[in-house]
Structure formats: structure tokens, C-alpha cells
Structure 1
């Protein structure tokens, strides 16, 4: 960024403004995702961030860097979106078959996985930290934290801002920010290392083959005893192999349209598959390998039929 570019953007030059924010767009989008837990919400928040930055740029005094200023806007808008989302009731989802009684409840209907392909657009030094912070287990933990607690954790431990800078972004005192950070650190799960070698890929291939054939017994052979299945935005959750198997059998028997075809992608560093039913995209599957990489610890079946577009996948398979 040069002073000439900044002056031009302040005077209303849209091309100069676009050049200013373009290098930061992807990392800001990722920040919005971490706080909201939703790629769709991150898209919407980024539109608000860019509009607020465009309108506020003439008043940008330069007391902080442009990056810090934009992160303050992104953090505020993300927290607002997260707060407003809690006020909107979500419609109940009706399965096209009679599912068995769930063994637990899943409390994050807004949750969506983040495409690895978008992380690949960051510079290599940023990618390593970014991948750890978009693992679904980490994002789920962030959604269960008080919003400002999650925000200060991301600002300090992921993005490298000081506690004082984070406090200013959140309009709170440094002491309060330090307390939020300490509590957030104690609640944040450690990233789970996953073998990305041939064993990892082989497990994903075996799962895709068994699932696409509705071979429930073969799927169950790949699961840990304590494996669980959740289906955001639905609230049902099935815990342990028997409960997961009961659901998969009911789904296979009652699903109109036959079996799914799976197209492999990667989400949050984990194997994922866009589901196609009768050639049309019908949501996304993400599997979480166990720590030793030999079994599957969880299955997340995202029921949003538009989610595939974030992964650059077509609406239909010919």
C-alpha cells in the first residue's frame, strides 16, 4: 500500500480501494468464518465489512495499520452477525423417512466446513496456522465460547495481535481482554494431527465406496466404537457405532432416489465428499479420522444443498 493509493481510495477511487483490500480479503473472510462458524455468514459479513470500510475510509486517520483497522471492522461485524443469528429461529427439518430416535442433540445448526481450496489462496506462511484453526473440532469449540472470548483468542493466538490491540478492537479494557484470553485458551481443544499419507487416503476411499453402495456393515467396520454422526442444521445426533448404524440403515431403506454418488473434496483438512442424488448436489459429508488414522471418529453430514458451490463443485453430475 502506498500513500497515493490510500489517498486515491479516500477520494472515491473504487479501483484504488479494491487494490487496497484485495491482499487482505481472503484472510479477513477466514476470520469472519472462525467467529461465525459458517461460510455463508462469512460471505455476508464480508460484504458488510467492505461497505463499512469504503464508507469509513475518508475518516481513517492512520493511527493503526490498514490491516488492523479492517480487522476491527471484521471482528465487530462478525460478532454482530453471531448475535443476530441467535435471534432467528431455524425451521425444523423433516427427513424423507422415519429416522430412529437420536441418542444426543447437536447444538450448532449454523455450522459449515471451510473449503481447503480457499485456504490454499493464502500465502504459505499463513496457511499452516489457518489450517489448524479451521478444523471442525476447533470451530465447534469457538462457537460454544462466549463470542468475545472466541474473538480475542483468534485475534491474539492465531493472528498475532497484542492483547492491547485486541482490547481496542473489542472496545474493552486490556485487563478484561487478558481475562477473556485466559479463559478461551483453557477451553480451546488442541489441533488433532492427522496422517495425510496413503493410509489416510485409503480410509477415505473405503468410506466413499461403502457409503455410496449403502453397505452399512462395511461403513461400520471403518468406525470407532464411540463414533458419532451429526447432520447440521438438524439437531439429531447419533453416538456410538450401533446408533450410527441404525440411522444409516433407516436412511438407506427410506431414501427416495437410490444411493448417493460422492465427489471427493477437502474441508478443514479432512476428507470430504459432495453428495449427489440422482445427479443433483445434496449436501456434503466430512469424516474425521481417529488420531491413529485407522478408523473414523465422526461423520458430519451437512444438509445444505448449496454448500457444494463453496467447493467449486457443479450443481449436477452428468
Structure 2
């Protein structure tokens, strides 16, 4: 596997460190790639905790294979190859991670977890972390692809690798990579019919509409303003609460009525507080509930919102308790 251009100073330094067996220096030279490799593993696996594990597995494999690095490829390319194959090995061993059947949606990806924005690379443009490729809808759509097809799609269309480079990383022929990419693009068009297929653009900040909607969403909870909550929701709202299966497309009123029937906003479940945040570069609300037997508000859930024309078009809720990596305080 080769990258164009002469051997860089960094790669020459890495070769020297690898040959010396200096594990501390090795860690220093590879650590700077941790965040972008973690995002890569998350795209492959849709689960933050699994992505952490596979990133660590990548560094362990890199250490054990350090003498195989000859500088024919850039260090970053070499690490991405190891990370991709670590994820593929993980998927091969997990019967619960088979591709999502066609026609099923995000709520059927029961292992889906949100990704904390603070763990994204600091330079998203350089690391190819476009907002569109970290949003939940994209991550779910990728889970419809068979693992090797998924790897081809991410390497080619997200990271922008040329076909020979991707083929070498996956031990495939260029023809196999080209065919797999065509099939993957077809699946992604079916899963994301309203989205463009060029995702290699820099991430951007939340819009004022998005910030305003999440603040109003929290305010409606804190005031138990059900009419206000209804006014924030589109009448073709897509809603899911993981890890429960089943995405619902519903009217705004029916959605709120369903939450009422389930006990929310009823006595004992009507004392809310919220924190505006972001995950997966999307607006989100950390919701805290104080029940009669509790001295304070405890973290209940995180609601990830997709805002279209000033209203919530999609809402994915996650149980947030026991997930310190979300960077939300456990109580308020």
C-alpha cells in the first residue's frame, strides 16, 4: 500500500521509534490519531463504547505489527487500515451486528449510541468529519451495508481514498472495490433519499433555528407546557426511544398523547429540568426528572433532534443514565 510523495519526517521518525521498541515514544506518535480513528470505528460500528474498544485494539495491533511499517504508506493510512480490519474482525464475531434488514429504521439498530462532540477531532476538516457523516441518520444508514461493503463505502466516499488504496487496505481487487461501492451507494440512496451523496465537507455550527428549538423544547418540559411542545413538533414526526424497538411516524398531538399515556408529564413524572447540548454534531437536550422519592433531578434521557424549518422532524431518545462519556452531570 503506497501513498504518493516521499517519506515524511514524521514517518521516518516513526520507523526509527518502531525499530527501537520505545513504547512510550510509539504512544506519543500514534496518540494524535486517536480521535479520528475513533470516529472511523464509530461509523463502522454505530456504538460509541465499541468504537473506544476497537480504537484501543488498533493501537495494540499497531504496536505488535510495528516492524511491518516501512513508510510505503503514510502512518495515518497504515493506522486506518488496521482500524478498519479490527472493526471487520469484531463484526465477524458478533451475531447481533448483522446488517440491518431493508425497510427497518434507526430504532431497529438497538446497539446505536450517540457520539459526544467533545471526542470529535479538533480539526474536523483535516480529519474528514463532516456533520452529515456523523449524524444519526447517516450512521444508521451505513448499518444497512454488509461489513466489507460498509468499509469500502467509508474509505472511498467518506475518507476519499482512491480505489487502489482502499483495495490494498482490504485485500480486495480494484474491481471488487468498485462493485462494492456501487452497491453501497445504491443502498445509501434508498436509506437517505433526500440527502446528497457527497459528504466530504467541513462540519458547521448549529443554526440559530436549531439552538432556539432545543431551548424551547427544554422550556416546554420545565413548564409542562404540552401545547408548546406540540407546536415544536412536525406532523410527520419520526420518533424512537432506544433501546426499545420501533420507530413511530406520528402527528405532533398523537406523539404527546402517547407520552402522556406512558406516564410522562403526569404527577410524579412532571418535574423536569434540561440542559442544551450537542451529540453527533446535532442539537440535543439532556432531560432530568425529579420523582417524589428523589431529593434532586436525575439524568433521565438525552433527546437528539433533527430540526427542519424550525420544527422537530426527527427525535431519537437514548437512556442517558450510567453514560459518563456523554459529559452530562448525573444530577441537577
The alignment's TM-score, normalised by the length of structure 1, stands at: 0.84
Return the match for 2:329 from 305, 310, 314: 314
Q: Is residue 316 of structure 2 the alignment partner of residue 300 of structure 1?
A: yes
Q: How far did 1:314 drift?
A: 2.4
The corresponding residue for 2:110 is 109
Instruction: Return 5+ residue gaps in structure 1 as ranges.
Output: 90-103
Q: Does 1:239 align with 2:255?
A: no
Report if aligned partners of 2:269, 2:289 keep a CA contact under 8 Å in 1: yes
Q: 1:36 touches 1:42 (CA, 8 Å); kept in 2?
A: yes
CA shift in 2, pair 1:194/1:69, >3 Å: closer
Distance in 2 of aligned mates of 1:56 and 1:194 = 37
Q: Is the 8 A contact 1:6 1:16 kept in 2?
A: no
Q: Which residue is equivalent to 2:151? A: 151
SS in 2 for 1:112: coil
Give distance in 2, aligned partners of 1:179 and 1:219: 47
Cα distance change, pair 197–149 in 1 and its aligned pair in 2 (3 A): same
Alignment RMSD: 2.7
CA–CA separation in structure 2 for the residues paired with 1:84 and 1:283: 30
Give the aligned partner of residue 102 of structure 2. none
CA contact (8 A) 2:106 2:140 kept: no
Task: Quote the Cα distance in structure 1 between the aligned partners of 2:326 and 2:17.
Answer: 35
Q: Secondary structure at the match of 1:140?
A: helix
Q: Equivalences for 1:244-283 in 2 at 5 Å?
A: 244-249=255-260, 250-252=262-264, 258-278=270-290, 279-283=297-301
TM superposition shift of 1:258: 4.3
2:22 corresponds to which residue?
A: 13
Q: In the superposition, relative to structure 1, how do residues 2 and 183 fare at CA in structure 2: closer, same or farther (>3 Å)? A: closer
Match of 1:50 among 24, 47, 59: 59
Between the aligned partners of 2:71 and 2:106, the Cα distance in structure 1 is 48
Aligned to 1:101: none
RCO higher in structure (CA 8 A, sep ≥6): 1
The match for 2:163 is 163
Whether the 8 Å contact between 2:12 and 2:71 is mirrored in structure 1 is no
1:138-175, CA deviations, whole angstroms, 9 ceiling, x for partnerless residues? Answer: 11100112222221111111212111111222222211
Verify the 8 A CA contact 1:35 1:78 in the aligned structure 2: yes
Match of 2:304 among 267, 275, 286: 286
Give deviations 1:223-254, integer Å, cap 9, x for gaps.
Answer: 11110210111113322124422321123156
Give the structure 2 partner of residue 59 of structure 1. Answer: 68
The answer as to whether partners of 2:224 and 2:270 remain within 8 angstroms in 1 is no
Q: Tell me, yes or no, if the aligned pair for 2:117 and 2:280 is still in contact at 8 Å.
A: yes
For structure 2, list consecutive stretches of 5 or more residues without a partner in the other structure.
Answer: 1-9, 99-104, 291-296
Q: 1:153 to 1:202 in 2, by over 3 A?
A: same
Q: Distance in 2 between matches of 1:255 and 1:296?
A: 26
CA distance in 2, matches of 1:11, 1:20: 14
Deviation at 1:86, TM superposition (A): 3.2
